[in-house]
Amino acid sequence: MKHLLLFLGISTFLFSCTTKKTEQQQHQKTTKYACNFRLIQHDDYIKLQLLKPETGEIDQTYALVKKTTKTELPSSMARIEVPVKNMAVLSTTHIGMLSALNALDCIKGTTDPTYISNPKILKRIKSGEIAAFTDDASLVPEQLLRKKIGLVVYSGFGKAFPNADKLATLGIYTMPNYDWREEHPLGKAEWIKVFGYLIDQPEQAEAYFKQVERNYLATKKLIGRSTKYPKVLVGSLIGDIWYAPAGKSYMAHLFRDAGCDYIYASEEGTGSCRKTFEQVYNDQLKSDFWINPGAVSIADLLRQQGKYGLFKTVKNKQVYCYTHDSNYFWEMSTVHPDWLLYDFATIFGTSKPGKLHFYKQLR
């Protein structure tokens, strides 16, 4: 009897340990910097949870299941069979991520070509192979079915996708993407893992992200040896208001890592801060560089606002922007924060000089 009780006790202990280990494995967080999604490994599928950026609560849950797998799923989860061969991506950042994974062939629908840089995508839109949609509401179910599109990825702005329930009844799922709400540059880039699992190439996505991370951290370490701390002004007037990144925003994080003294780094918030022209004029007297004025040349800058000519940075021609190729910037900068950091370090002189990836000095 004692032996039986001992056996039962050991069995219970082992079962308990195994259960706890399985639960830990199934609930292991696979993100390092991103805050707005979770990937959870289960025995037969990957659970993808998208989180509301404002609260951290679960917004949407999907089961990413290999097509050869037969498994019962909770009714609360949308079943997406991977690899996804045909998808529509309604933000150019999604094109950049799929381009980095050499998976452009799976794109069968996308956004307005006016905002696209990738020549392969533009060529396929022109040939009719890819359907172009001006906005979320312009998606026509018949067109999606004709292209055999089973998944639509869009930028989540907190609103339900138009006709999402109707599309789901047709076997077409919609998925919000919150990469643009991440506050860490590497957190935005880490969304490439979501696309890696969607195309059933998670190892490739992981390897890509790790390389970007290594590049970013290596540049940051090099910047840390610099003794320069240039003052930087960012943004421009829209109407009567000057909009600049708030102190806890994605761009402010980049400027901090780039070794500069961003003028509005102490402003609260993760979005934009608002200033009057008079405030900015007084603040800019100390600035060494002006980033992202929204112009392609000094002449263009002065046409927008003649008072810009009073700025120290304009007089010294230390003004930089990406507007010579805005589409390329928005398409690739999310997936290449290492290039962005390198550009800023080169501009600010906190790293050794090099060729810029996204930025140009206004002439």
Question: What are the tens digits of pLDDT across the range 206-252?
Answer: 999 999 999 999 999 999 888 889 999 999 999 999 999 999 999 99
Instruction: List CB contacts of 232: < 8 A, sequence separation 6 or more.
Output: 255, 260, 261, 262, 263, 287, 288, 289, 290, 291, 348
Residues 273, 169, single domain; the answer is no
Sheet harboring 272-275: ordered strands across?
Answer: 236-238, 241-245, 272-275
Q: How far apart are the first and last CA of the chain?
A: 91
Geometric angle at alpha carbon 88, from 82 and 91, rounded to 5°: 120
- The number of angstroms, rounded, from the C-alpha of 146 to the middle of its chain's C-alpha atoms is 29
- AA identity, residue 98: L
11 in a domain, yes or no? no
Residues 320, 277, single domain; the answer is yes
- Hey, what are 47's tokens? 């659970």
Residues 239, 324, single domain; the answer is yes
Residues 250, 346, single domain; the answer is yes
177 in a domain, yes or no? yes
Q: Residue 103 belongs to what domain range?
A: 28-213
pLDDT of residue 157: 82
DSSP class of 273: E
Residues 350, 319, single domain; the answer is yes
221 in a domain, yes or no? no
Give 31: exposed, middle or buried? Use CB within 10 Å, 0-12, 13-18, 19+: middle
Domain endpoint, select from 213, 239, 268: 213
Residues 194, 237, single domain; the answer is no
Residues 135, 79, single domain; the answer is yes
Dihedrals phi, psi of 149, to nearest 5 degrees: -80, 125
Residue 108 is part of a domain; what is its CATH number?
A: 3.40.50.1980
Pairing of strands 151-155, 173-177: parallel
The stretch 190-201 carries a mean pLDDT of 98
Residues 241, 209, single domain; the answer is no
Cα separation, 112 vs 146, in Å, equals 19
57 in a domain, yes or no? yes
Q: Number of structural domains, the chain?
A: 2
If pLDDT is split at 50, 70 and 90, which confidence band does 24 have? very low
Residues 205, 313, single domain; the answer is no
Residues 57, 123, single domain; the answer is yes
If pLDDT is split at 50, 70 and 90, which confidence band does 354 have? confident
Domain endpoint, select from 156, 178, 213: 213
Residues 184, 97, single domain; the answer is yes
- pLDDT for 355 beyond 70: yes
Portion of the chain with pLDDT greater than 70, in percent? 92
Extract the runs of DSSP E, i.e. beta strands, from 69-155: 78-82, 87-89, 107-111, 131-133, 151-155
97 in a domain, yes or no? yes
Residues 201, 91, single domain; the answer is yes
Cα separation, 121 vs 130, in Å, equals 8
- pLDDT for 19 beyond 50: no
The stretch 13-38 carries a mean pLDDT of 61
14 in a domain, yes or no? no
What pTM value is reported for the model? 0.89
- pLDDT for 175 beyond 70: yes
Provide the mean pLDDT of the chain. 90
